[in-house]
Chains A and B, each alone.
Chain A
Amino acid sequence: MERVAENLNRALHAAFAADPELFLLGEDVADPYGGAFKITKGLSSGYPDRVLSTPISEQSLVGVANGLALSGGRAIVEIMFGDFATLAFDQIVNFAAKSVAMYGRRVEVPVIVRCPTGGRRGYGPTHSQSLQKHFIGVPHLSVHEISPFHDSTALLAGLLADGEPAVLFEDKVLYTQPMHEPGTDGPFVADYPFGAGGPARLRASDGDDAADCVIIVPGGVARRALAAAGTLFAEHEITCEVIVPTRLYPFDVEPLLPALAGAEVVCLVEDCAAGGTWGSEVAARVYERLWGRLRRPVVLCSAEAEVIPTAAHLEQTVLPQASDIHRAIWEALHA
């Protein structure tokens, strides 16, 4: 059984083995530490010239990555806690993303900014956030999230080949969990009807009919959504299908439309603080395409619009729990 952190570490090793012009920069990423979450373990030993532990300088790390990319190389930056990506916002938004287009011709900027993200580890307000929403809607910047249902080797290779900068969110609790295989997620089994690299679809192994509810979630929230799907079925015989994309933005809603149109309720779940979020962006796309065909308003289950407290019992009141997802869907169906 492979854990998500091991899968991502293996993906980075594969990327370095495949690409002699790939660099990685970040704070404390070198061996023997291998990064605060051990995701870069072994890389600096294998590629000492190209895997660099750096000073605490997020803005410059992304800037250096941008310079390497302009020179013809590719670069991955690890932001130790995704919260600190705010310090690199200028280099990401005003340089990396804009350079793709603002010089009048396409300029490739193959840079991945990796952001360990999310709460549930008690790190408090400045080390627990999910900042995906702040990177949504930037021209030529794509936003992604790792998932236990997607091999990160293919994900990283795709992002590096894309030629445009990407921000990759990695849920910190997910790191410790197993990659999906039959049995790891109860009755739920993943399939990939939307093609390679597309969203995973999780359904109970015995359910082939259209689901009552379609839940769209990023990888970090997926297992909370599955837990809710499990109790909704056990307690109310409500069937759920859970869709887990790795590409959050730009988000292609088209392949999902048949399933969404057939559902009693469509639900989006995310750890971002409510207000101007990924979920509301996807909901807008769904309304645009399915206005008049949806049975009821899209259910948006975001974190509360509040800072994330440190104490576990307080944090739970802010971040969406499986029980919150369960309740939101049940209430929508019985409103």
Chain B
Amino acid sequence: MKEGTAVSVAGFDAGIDVEDLSTLLMIRHFEQTVLDLFARGLLNGTTHTCLGQEYVPVALGPLLAPDDFVFSNHRGHGHYLARFDDPEGLLAEMTGREGAVCSGVGGSQHIFRGTYLSTGVQGESLPVAVGTALWFQRTGRPGVAVAYIGDGTWGEGAVYEALNLAALWRLPLLVVVENNGIAQTTPTARAMAGDIAGRAAAFGIAHVSVTGSDVAAIRARLAPVVERTRTGGGPAVVEFATHRLGPHSKGDDTRSAAEVAAEREHDWHDAYRRLDPDLFAKVEDEQRTRIAEAVDRVLARPASVWERG
């Protein structure tokens, strides 16, 4: 693959895959519910929703094997839900109820299940992901280490140490960048000199740009990228030009209404609805109901218990 290959996938030529749409809408309703629960005082602490970015992990989902090691970050609900289809476990984690994935100790941004791990410090996961990729390589396993990071994460030095090692040792590391153009409240343009493609190129690492939110098209385009990394082709950086529709956390969006409205123009939600309004409405009803019922069940449960090891 050529470095700096760009792919625009705005076409939605393949129509709607119901399973993908269900996952997209499950995550969308989960995130909206999270903000609602906060507003009602039913969630403790903080959270970071991925509204607008749901399609990224949904597109990658089937390209990853169960043993691939996925590293998520603070904005990780979608990553988890796309991998495990487990809104109740995640909600229980966030509300400290029985059935919580990590007994309520980790909360929204510290989840570990199987070969899926999220942590709340920017850039911290990349060197760790390199370690899991090194393990795959040296033990002859066909795994890929996948690390989701944001545009803001590129301010951390750990990113560059990790990219250097991954390229040097030709490791199966896939860095998925969700470039939503803003880090908390700071626009990328005020935090990043140059660009991500240039930074990947500096390490001789393949870089793929993805625009648009057509899950099927993105998946088809990225399948060979993942396969190449899996089979010894070395690391790759896949950069999604994506759009954060919600606040950084809760009620802390400093963007103007017009700016947020401009972001909403890119929402996959409307694009998919236009494709097949009836099917969309049916699936949306199902997922809205599913999440509402999950909330009722989880909130009725007793508090989680932390059995210390």
Which residue numbers of A lie inside 8 Å of B, CB to CB?
A: 21, 23, 49-50, 54-55, 57, 59-73, 75, 90-91, 94-95, 99-107
Given contacts A102-B106, A103-B112, contact A63 B131 (CB under 8 A): yes
> Bound state CA distance, A101 and B100, in angstroms?
15
> Bound state CA distance, A102 and B112, in angstroms?
9
- In the complex, the answer to whether B130 meets A90 with C-beta atoms within 8 Å is no
Which residue in chain B gives the minimum CB-CB distance to A69? B131
> Bound state CA distance, A103 and B308, in angstroms?
10
Q: Mark B102-135, 1 if CB is under 8 A from A, else 0.
A: 1111100011100001010100101111111111
Q: How far is the CB of B148 from chain A (nearest CB, A)?
A: 15
Give chain A residues whose Cβ lies under 8 Å from the Cβ of B165.
Answer: 54-55, 57, 60, 64
Given contacts A54-B165, A101-B309, A105-B103, contact A60 B111 (CB under 8 A): no
- In the complex, the answer to whether B127 meets A66 with C-beta atoms within 8 Å is yes
- In the complex, the answer to whether B161 meets A68 with C-beta atoms within 8 Å is no
Interface centre among A57, A101, A107 (most CB of B within 10 A): A57
- In the complex, the answer to whether A57 meets B112 with C-beta atoms within 8 Å is no
- In the complex, the answer to whether A95 meets B124 with C-beta atoms within 8 Å is yes
Give chain B residues whose Cβ lies under 8 Å from the Cβ of A94.
Answer: 119, 121, 124
Give chain B residues whose Cβ lies under 8 Å from the Cβ of A99.
Answer: 112, 119
B interface residue count range (under 10 / 10 to 19 / 20 to 34 / 35 or more): 35 or more
6 A-B pairs within 8 Å (CB atoms) are namely: A54-B165, A60-B158, A70-B128, A99-B119, A103-B105, A105-B307
Which residue in chain B gives the minimum CB-CB distance to A71? B135
Is B22 among interface residues, defined by CB-CB distance under 8 A? no
Q: How far is the CB of B102 from chain A (nearest CB, A)?
A: 4
Is B164 among interface residues, defined by CB-CB distance under 8 A? yes
Give chain B residues whose Cβ lies under 8 Å from the Cβ of A101.
Answer: 105, 308-309
- In the complex, the answer to whether A102 meets B131 with C-beta atoms within 8 Å is no
Rank and list the top 6 A-B pairs by shortest CB-CB distance, nearest first.
A67-B131, A63-B127, A106-B309, A104-B103, A104-B102, A60-B161
- In the complex, the answer to whether B102 meets A73 with C-beta atoms within 8 Å is no
- In the complex, the answer to whether B162 meets A63 with C-beta atoms within 8 Å is yes
Give chain A residues whose Cβ lies under 8 Å from the Cβ of B157.
Answer: 59
Is B168 among interface residues, defined by CB-CB distance under 8 A? yes
- In the complex, the answer to whether A104 meets B106 with C-beta atoms within 8 Å is yes
Which residue in chain A gives the minimum CB-CB distance to B162? A60
Interface residues of B in 140-178 (CB under 8 A from A): 145, 157-158, 161-162, 164-165, 168
Task: Tell me which of A49, A59, A66 contacts B161 (CB under 8 A).
Answer: A59
> Bound state CA distance, A43 and B282, in angstroms?
63
- In the complex, the answer to whether B132 meets A67 with C-beta atoms within 8 Å is yes
Task: Tell me which of B101, B111, B131, B308 contacts A66 (CB under 8 A).
Answer: B131
> Bound state CA distance, A39 and B57, in angstroms?
45
Q: How far is the CB of A78 from chain B (nearest CB, A)?
A: 16
> Bound state CA distance, A55 and B164, in angstroms?
8
Give chain B residues whose Cβ lies under 8 Å from the Cβ of A102.
Answer: 102, 105-106, 110
